Structure formats: C-alpha cells, structure tokens
C-alpha cells in the first residue's frame, strides 16, 4: 500500500505543462466537490440506493484520462461518478442519474452504480463485483478484431481482484495480446476487509506474473505517476504487444459506501493519507511554479461550485422516466428474435 509519509515536492523538473497541471487540478476539484455534495444529498434522502464515493482516488481518473485519447474505452465498477466527469461529461447528467431522472446519462434507469456514455468511451459502471473484468477484455477483443488501435482501460478494486474470472481473463488477454490495461484501484479495503486479510501475496502487481503480463505498482495519489504508468501501458497495447496490469495504490477518505461506519480503520490512518491528498499535491505544484494567482484559483473554485449547484438544479427539475421506459433499452433495436404476444 502507498505510504502516507512523504510530502509532495515540486522542486524537481516538471514533466508536464502548466495547462496539464491546471486541467488536473480543475478536473479533480470538480470530482471532489461533486462527490462531497453527493454525500450530503444522500444523507438528505434526495435519492436512494447504494452510493459509493470516489473521494481521495481522483488522481487515478485524472492521470488515466490524460494518458489516453478519444476512441479509447473505459469500463469500471460501481464507484463510478468521477469517471464520466473526468471523460468530459457535464456533471448535471451524472447528478440527474443519481436522482433517477430521465435526463440522466443512463436515462435514470441505472442510478449511482451504472453510469454510461459510450460516445465518451464510458462503458459502465457495473454493480456486479468483477463483472467488468471479462467485459473489458471483450471490448478489447472487438478493438483488435476491428484493427482500430484503440485501447481499453478496465478498472476494478482490490476486492474484485479475488474473482475467479480475473484469471481466465488474464490468460485469454495474454494469449490473444488484447489491447487492454487492467487497473486495480487498490484502496487497501475490500469493503471493510484489508488486503492483508484477503491474500497471501500483498503486492498485487504480482498477480499478472504467472501470465507473463507486464505489471507494476503505481502511486495512485500522484497524477504524474498514474499518467506515466498509463502512458507506457497504452503505448504497449497500441503496438499490439498486449495487456498490462497496473496495481494503482490509492486511498478513499470516505467509507466503502454511505452506510459504512468505518470501524476497521483509525482516524489517524485517514489523516495520514490526507497529507498526500492528490488535489493538494497538484495545487502545491501550481503555487510553487506560479502557474496561477490566488484570484485565478478562487475563480476555478467558484466555477466548480457553480457547476455542482447547476447540476443539482438540473436534476431536481428533471422528470422521472415514464413507465413505458421499462421496455426500452432491453434489447438491441435490430434484435431479430423478438416475438410480440397479443
């Protein structure tokens, strides 16, 4: 697990542009403020169902998006509010989906755990633990078959890595050299069970070694580290050299879900990881290099807060789906085996 002892230092030579740091900061701040407000709204019972917040893990999405391109596909688990925002979706469509409104990105029929926008390259949001692992390989097979040079980023948690389908998928992906990057969003807890209690092999990057899959552990609290590892993995996949496993060690500041009392960890542990908050690290780099004035940073903060407020207003003013929507989007429109009973 990434240690929470080192503070960020921005005195080293920067590998990225001012524009990139500013984008990382604004995107992650939007993810964070959106999720904070989502938690408040859930407590106010504005919407129900399961709700899993991404607070603390934002650097994974930010670094992944900056290292991939339009046309690449992303598929993830149920902690999925930040992914569409990072890929460029207006947060109002994410908020409307949380509210179960017809204007949501999944037409109000998916809710918190099933965010989709295939135009942006987001193929879910999946509520079944580990289901997206073989599905991600399937998406990658389609890209290889169609010779697109696009890659697929398949993300899952350290708990989902215990599913048996992972091993079948890893074997197939390596056999066929599929253009897929497997990302373990390793926040050290499968719900409330630590990695140390679920495996004899603590270094989860070793899970790919028996398949000769290139694998590495990455600092998930650093946009730079995530971007660098993802960039290498993406280049490998585009060349046709097959998959990579990235064990990205991160930390969630909130519970597994909104109903999690978090008795399995101490306040001191959480506070230690807050010292290496990914947003704070990028902000320090921006300030140290004078990329933005305090006034400009305040303007970004206001812009983000306004976007979140706009998203709530949009969601609350949007209609619920009509009853007939139950029968829509069940089958592909051209599905040839439909029988209409009278």
pLDDT at 37 exceeding the cut of 60: yes
Mean pLDDT of 280-288: 97
What distance lies between CA 75 and its chain's CA centroid? 8
pLDDT of 9 reads: 45
Per the structure block, which two tokens stand in for 39?
Answer: 């938690």
pLDDT at 317 exceeding the cut of 90: yes
- DSSP assignments along 154-221, one per residue: EEEETTGGGSTHHHHHHHHHHHTT--EEEEEEE-SEETTEEGGGT-S---GGGGGGGGT--EEEEETT
Backbone torsion region of residue 191, taken as left when φ is above 0, otherwise alpha when ψ lies between -120 and 50, otherwise beta: left
pLDDT in tens, 57-93: 999 999 999 999 999 999 999 999 999 999 999 999 9
pLDDT in tens, 176-205: 999 999 999 999 888 888 887 888 888 999
To the question of domain 18-327 being in CATH 3.40.50.970, the answer is: yes
pLDDT in tens, 132-176: 999 999 999 999 999 999 999 999 999 999 999 999 999 999 999
Per-chain mean pLDDT for the chain: 93
22-31, 159-168, 299-308: the lowest-pLDDT one: 159-168
Q: Give residues with Cβ within 8 angstroms of 321, minimum separation 6.
A: 100, 101, 102, 107, 108, 109
- DSSP assignments along 284-318, one per residue: HHHHHTT-S-HHHHHHHHHHHHHHHHHHHHHHHHS
Mean pLDDT of 291-299: 98
Q: At 12, is the pLDDT very low, low, confident or very high (cuts 50, 70, 90)?
A: low
Q: At 261, is the pLDDT very low, low, confident or very high (cuts 50, 70, 90)?
A: confident
pLDDT of 10 reads: 43
* % helix, strand, coil for the chain, step of 5: 45, 10, 45
Report helix, strand or coil for 122: strand
Let me know: does 64 contact 230? Beta carbons within 8 Å: yes
Pairwise CA distance, residues 329 & 107, whole Å: 10
Q: What is the DSSP letter of 117?
A: B
Pairwise CA distance, residues 134 & 165, whole Å: 7
Q: What percent of the chain has pLDDT over 70?
A: 96
pLDDT at 299 exceeding the cut of 60: yes
Mean pLDDT of 296-309: 98
* Entry pTM: 0.91
Let me know: does 38 contact 115? Beta carbons within 8 Å: no
Element of type H or E holding 79 = none
């Amino acid at each position: 697990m990434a240690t929470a002892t080192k503070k960020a230092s921005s005195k080293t030579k920067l590998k990225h542009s001012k524009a990139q740091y500013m984008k990382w900061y604004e995107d992650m701040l939007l993810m964070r403020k959106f999720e904070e407000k989502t938690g408040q709204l859930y407590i106010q019972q504005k919407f129900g169902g399961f709700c899993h917040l991404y607070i603390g893990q934002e650097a994974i999405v930010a670094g992944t998006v900056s290292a991939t391109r339009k046309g690449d596909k992303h598929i993830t688990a149920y902690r999925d509010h930040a992914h569409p925002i990072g890929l460029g979706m207006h947060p109002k469509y994410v908020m409307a989906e949380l509210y179960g409104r017809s204007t949501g990105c999944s037409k109000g029929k998916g809710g918190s755990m099933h965010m989709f926008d295939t135009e942006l390259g987001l193929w879910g949001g999946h509520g079944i633990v580990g289901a997206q692992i073989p599905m991600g390989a399937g998406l990658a097979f389609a890209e290889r078959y169609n010779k697109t040079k696009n890659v697929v980023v398949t993300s899952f948690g350290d708990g989902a890595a215990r599913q048996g389908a992972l091993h079948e998928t890893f074997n197939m992906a390596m056999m066929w050299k599929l253009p897929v990057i497997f990302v373990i969003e390793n926040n050290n807890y499968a719900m409330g069970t630590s990695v140390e209690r679920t495996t004899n092999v603590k270094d989860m990057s070793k899970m790919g070694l028996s398949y000769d899959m290139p694998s590495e552990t990455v600092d998930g609290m650093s946009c730079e580290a995530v971007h660098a590892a993802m960039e290498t993995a993406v280049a490998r996949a585009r060349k046709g050299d097959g998959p990579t496993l990235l064990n990205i060690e991160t930390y969630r500041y909130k519970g597994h879900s909104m109903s999690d009392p978090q008795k399995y960890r101490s306040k001191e542990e959480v506070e230690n990881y807050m010292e290496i908050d990914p947003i704070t690290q990028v902000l320090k780099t921006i300030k140290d290099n004078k990329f933005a004035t305090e006034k400009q940073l305040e303007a970004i903060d206001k812009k983000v807060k306004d976007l979140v407020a706009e998203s709530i207003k949009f969601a609350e003013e949007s209609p619920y789906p009509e009853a007939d929507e139950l029968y829509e989007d069940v089958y592909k429109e051209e599905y040839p085996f439909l029988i209409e009973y009278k």
